[in-house]
Amino acid sequence: MSIMVTGGCGLVGSFAVRHAIEQGHEVIAFDLARKMELLQDVQEGVTFVKGDILNAPELMRAVKDHGVTRILHTASFLTPGAYERPYAAIETSIMGTLNVLEAGRLFGLERVAYVSTGKTMLTGAQFAQSIPTGRLNIEPDPYSSAKVGAELICNDYRKLYEMDVLILRLGGQVFGPGYAFTGALGQGLQDVVEKPLRGDPVRLDSAHLAHSREVLPMLYAGDAGRGTMMATLAEGLQDWVFSISCLENCTLQEVADIIKELEPGADIQMPPATEKGGPAQYDQRAKEQFGYVPEYNANRGLREYIQFLKTGRYQRLS
């Protein structure tokens, strides 16, 4: 099976590529930049194609030239970038997804799997509640708004053209190893993880994580990538919308405590937490239909992240 991963050199995309290779599939990483830092040890099994999902001819040519049978569409702006550049973020989410779906339709692909966010459930509910009054009681969030729109388009293509289109919602704040391409949580916590390794103090306040809650669902990128690819490869699915969930919820203080445990002497200060974390619930349908269960708690994920920063190479830790 020939699988294309858009954003295949990104954080979630890289782990999705790794899982597909481990399962013996041919993998095409379609991305704007060749960033192989999480794929160094498996890069011989990856076909890298430089391209932009907003450039439909480039995308179509890559699908045709490489005999792609399924696409996992991970390419997207992250939350902070969407606030800074809403036009570009919305264009990428809507038109980029439309191009991927058109490629799936025109070439008769077996499946297109779209990576969305669990935030669409809240945004969608708020929008539905506001419809009768005409007063949209929704805070501005270009990232979530664009994801809702893209999910609706996925629904259109699935039903208009009888396509196999999946929606895979990442049910947590994605974090993991890499240089400057981590998810919203990873971007906010980058200094918290990296400064102690250099012996620098960390002073964190609410402004550093303006788009996050106090209790964070800690979704490690390894779980996110593996789960989305498992769904992309699965056969006989009964449903087509799934949550790729995390194992654990943590407060920022609990994350800091883990880093202090992993890096003795780390000097991290932040406002005290008023809540507590704990086990997270995961999607039973994902477990039953394609076997996904999250494997990483925050400690294990942060250990892999720190190991990467120390060595410059990704290594799976038990």
- Digit-by-digit pLDDT tens for the chain (318 residues) are 899 999 999 999 999 999 999 999 999 999 998 888 899 999 999 999 999 999 999 999 999 999 999 999 999 887 777 888 999 999 999 999 999 999 999 999 999 999 999 999 988 888 888 888 888 888 889 999 999 999 999 999 999 999 999 999 999 888 898 765 445 455 566 777 888 888 888 887 655 555 556 788 999 999 999 999 999 999 999 999 999 999 999 988 898 899 999 988 889 887 777 888 899 988 999 999 999 999 999 999 999 999 998 898 999 988
Whether 8 is in a domain gets the answer: yes
Whether 190 is in a domain gets the answer: no
Strands (E), 193-236: 202-203, 215-220
Pure H helices in 35-176: 56-65, 79-84, 86-91, 97-106, 119-130, 142-160
Handedness of CA 266, 268, 273, 275 (dihedral sign): negative
CB 245 within 8 A of CB 289: no
Distance CA 220, CA 235 (A): 25
Whether 198 is in a domain gets the answer: no
Measured at the alpha carbon of residue 10, what is the angle toward residues 22 and 253, in degrees to the nearest 5?
A: 100
Structure tokens at 37: 């830092």
Whether 55 is in a domain gets the answer: yes
* Chain-centre distance for alpha carbon 197: 26
Q: Which CATH number covers residue 95?
A: 3.40.50.720
- The number of domains in the chain is 1
* pLDDT the model gives residue 78: 78
* pLDDT the model gives residue 252: 82
Whether 259 is in a domain gets the answer: no
* pLDDT the model gives residue 41: 92
Distance CA 15, CA 296 (A): 13
CA distances from 221 to 55, 110, 142, 172 (A): 27, 25, 22, 10
Whether 313 is in a domain gets the answer: no
Whether 185 is in a domain gets the answer: no
Whether 30 is in a domain gets the answer: yes
Strands (E), the chain: 2-6, 26-31, 46-50, 70-73, 111-117, 165-171, 173-175, 202-203, 215-220, 241-245, 248-251, 268-269, 278-279
Distance CA 41, CA 55 (A): 30
Domain that holds residue 44: 2-175+219-246+280-295
